[in-house]
């Protein structure tokens, strides 16, 4: 279904381009599109028959219950209650094919995309799925495959409430899922499991692990954002941060400290890459508008167009991910401060924030003014707002403020004045502008 959907989109784009260029291939592309649309609608109708989906969900939930019982060492016929810490006896799991868990994940992700209402009407059974995700996502001993553990994060995103949906009577409610998610008895362990897999997928042993980790972490950001908005989960995350603050010098770095290091690494890499791609797009758009491509051979022009399209796709991906990472840092710093202002992390985060402000509000920002920001998911106003929010969240700490001017790479006395000017230009609230101006004076 997903592949058919993707092929439909590609055909639609090709058809539209052919129409605009008056290509004779337009009619043929239209016929292909209509034929594939017929296949898609017929397949979707057959695959989303409500009773069949309900039966499949019952089967997968039963599988989740079975795997949880095996994971806690229960080989009897009656289920036993889940307790933490988990017991050591789980040898029977060695005989269970991992495709059982893989199939469970595929089905729940399918429901999210094509039959979301089933998840809502069957919300009570989702607690068993959350148990399954909590145990296997957070335990490398029980699920050794890092790719499958990362997939369970995508499953968690699929079954969690999506409160950012546009109100629509045709879209299912999230009331029952919200109730299950908020009242989940093992919320602290689920939050810790999510952060643990975020850290663990940094090194999977796969030759493509560097590119993979960003795709694996993509669904984790909305989950973290939702957890942060729920008291139980937020307190659990803060507890992990408190433990890390008290054990910074430990032989084995605390989980949350490793998480923050990786989060900042990702933010630096992703936004820096996005800036580089946007700069290249800007140059190519100028060349094209000046007519410099008109004198090229048809083959050379096609290469230029393909290169511009590739840069656009890469810029969009890196922008989407950098928006998520910077946004995550913004809400985490609202209540977790001691780790960020510690000299161990303060210099890194200050250097990062100043470097990006320099590109977003300083003289270099002109290099990023591509034609259509939305085409590349470039949100400079949101990025500036989030970076300023991080500064304001941490700016009460004198040691932090004293460290800012020590950044010799990007900081200058005019940087914050330029930032205040941009905040006014993008109509941010007056209290934010006043607070940032005050922070600039203290620094």
pLDDT tens digits along 114-128: 888 888 888 888 999
Q: Are residues 298 and 387 in the same domain?
A: yes
pLDDT number for residue 58: 92
For residue 274, tell me if it sits in a domain: yes
Q: Are residues 273 and 129 in the same domain?
A: no
Q: Are residues 194 and 300 in the same domain?
A: no
> CA 440, CA 443: separation in Å to the nearest integer?
5
> CA 384, CA 123: separation in Å to the nearest integer?
39
pLDDT number for residue 130: 94
Region of 379 please: left (phi>0), alpha (psi -120 to 50) or beta: beta
For residue 359, tell me if it sits in a domain: yes
Q: Are residues 303 and 197 in the same domain?
A: no
For residue 426, tell me if it sits in a domain: yes
Q: Are residues 424 and 285 in the same domain?
A: yes
pLDDT number for residue 12: 74
For residue 266, tell me if it sits in a domain: yes
pLDDT number for residue 264: 92
> CA 189, CA 179: separation in Å to the nearest integer?
18
pLDDT number for residue 164: 60
Q: Are residues 346 and 268 in the same domain?
A: yes
| Of 211, 213, 238, residue with least CA distance to 224 | 238
State the Rg of the chain over Cα. 25
Residues 156 and 219: beta-carbon distance below 8 Å = yes
Q: Are residues 233 and 282 in the same domain?
A: no
pLDDT number for residue 170: 46
Q: What is the DSSP letter of 86?
A: P
Q: Are residues 321 and 236 in the same domain?
A: no
Q: Are residues 212 and 270 in the same domain?
A: no
For residue 13, tell me if it sits in a domain: no
For residue 98, tell me if it sits in a domain: yes
> CA 353, CA 390: separation in Å to the nearest integer?
9
- Which of 219, 246, 273 is the C-terminal boundary of a domain? 246
For residue 141, tell me if it sits in a domain: yes
- Which of 226, 246, 266 is the C-terminal boundary of a domain? 246
Q: Are residues 312 and 169 in the same domain?
A: no
- Which of 220, 246, 272 is the C-terminal boundary of a domain? 246
| Of 64, 182, 202, 203, residue with least CA distance to 134 | 64
Residues 119 and 126: beta-carbon distance below 8 Å = yes
pLDDT number for residue 231: 92
pLDDT number for residue 71: 86
Residues 285 and 292: beta-carbon distance below 8 Å = no
pLDDT number for residue 20: 66
The whole model's pTM is what?
0.87
Domain that holds residue 114: 49-246
Q: Are residues 195 and 312 in the same domain?
A: no
Spans of the chain, pLDDT less than 50:
166-167, 169-170
pLDDT number for residue 3: 77
Collapsed DSSP state (helix, strand, coil) of residue 408: coil
pLDDT number for residue 406: 85
For the chain, the domain total comes to 2
Q: What is the DSSP letter of 167?
A: P
| Both tokens assigned to 235 | 């307190």
Question: Omega before 55 cis (within 30°)?
Answer: no
Mind giving me the DSSP string for 378-391? --HHHHHHHHHHHH
> CA 339, CA 345: separation in Å to the nearest integer?
7
For residue 26, tell me if it sits in a domain: no
Q: Are residues 238 and 307 in the same domain?
A: no
């Amino acid at each position: 279904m997903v592949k058919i959907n993707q092929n439909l989109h590609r055909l639609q784009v090709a058809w539209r381009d052919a129409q605009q260029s008056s290509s004779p291939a337009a009619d043929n592309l239209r016929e292909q599109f209509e034929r594939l649309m017929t296949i898609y609608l017929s397949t979707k109708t057959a695959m989303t028959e409500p009773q069949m989906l309900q039966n499949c969900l019952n089967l997968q939930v039963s599988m989740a219950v079975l795997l949880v019982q095996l994971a806690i060492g229960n080989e009897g016929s009656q289920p036993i209650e889940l307790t933490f810490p988990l017991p050591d006896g789980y040898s029977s799991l060695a005989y269970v094919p991992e495709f059982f868990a893989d199939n469970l994940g595929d089905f729940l992700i399918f429901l999210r995309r094509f039959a979301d209402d089933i998840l809502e009407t069957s919300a009570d059974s989702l607690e068993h799925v959350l148990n399954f995700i909590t145990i296997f996502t957070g335990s490398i001993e029980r699920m050794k495959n890092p790719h499958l553990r990362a997939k369970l994060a995508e499953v968690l995103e699929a079954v969690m409430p999506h409160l950012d949906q546009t109100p629509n009577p045709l879209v299912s409610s999230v009331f029952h899922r919200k109730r299950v998610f908020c009242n989940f008895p093992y919320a602290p362990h689920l939050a810790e499991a999510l952060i643990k897999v975020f850290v663990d997928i940094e090194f999977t042993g796969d030759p493509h692990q560097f590119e993979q980790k960003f795709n694996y972490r993509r669904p984790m950001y909305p989950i973290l954002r939702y957890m942060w908005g729920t008291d139980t989960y937020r307190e659990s995350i803060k507890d992990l941060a408190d433990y890390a603050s008290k054990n910074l010098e430990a032989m084995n770095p605390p989980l949350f400290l490793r998480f923050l290091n990786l989060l900042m690494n990702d933010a630096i890499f992703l936004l820096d890459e996005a800036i580089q791609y946007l700069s290249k797009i800007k140059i190519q758009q100028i060349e094209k508008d000046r007519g410099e491509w008109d004198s090229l051979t048809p083959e050379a022009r096609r290469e230029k167009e393909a290169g511009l399209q590739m840069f656009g796709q890469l810029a969009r991906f890196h922008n989407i991910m950098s928006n998520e990472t910077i946004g995550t840092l913004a809400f985490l710093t609202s209540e977790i401060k001691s780790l960020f202002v510690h000299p161990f992390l303060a210099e890194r985060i200050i250097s990062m924030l100043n470097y990006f402000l320099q590109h977003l509000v300083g003289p270099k920002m002109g290099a990023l003014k591509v034609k259509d920001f939305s085409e590349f998911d470039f949100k400079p106003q949101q990025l500036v707002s989030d970076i300023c929010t991080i500064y304001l969240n941490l700016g009460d700490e004198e040691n932090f403020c004293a460290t800012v001017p020590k950044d010799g790479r990007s900081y200058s006395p005019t940087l914050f004045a330029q930032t205040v000017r941009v905040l006014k230009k993008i109509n941010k609230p007056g209290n934010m502008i006043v607070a940032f101006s005050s922070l600039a004076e203290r620094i």
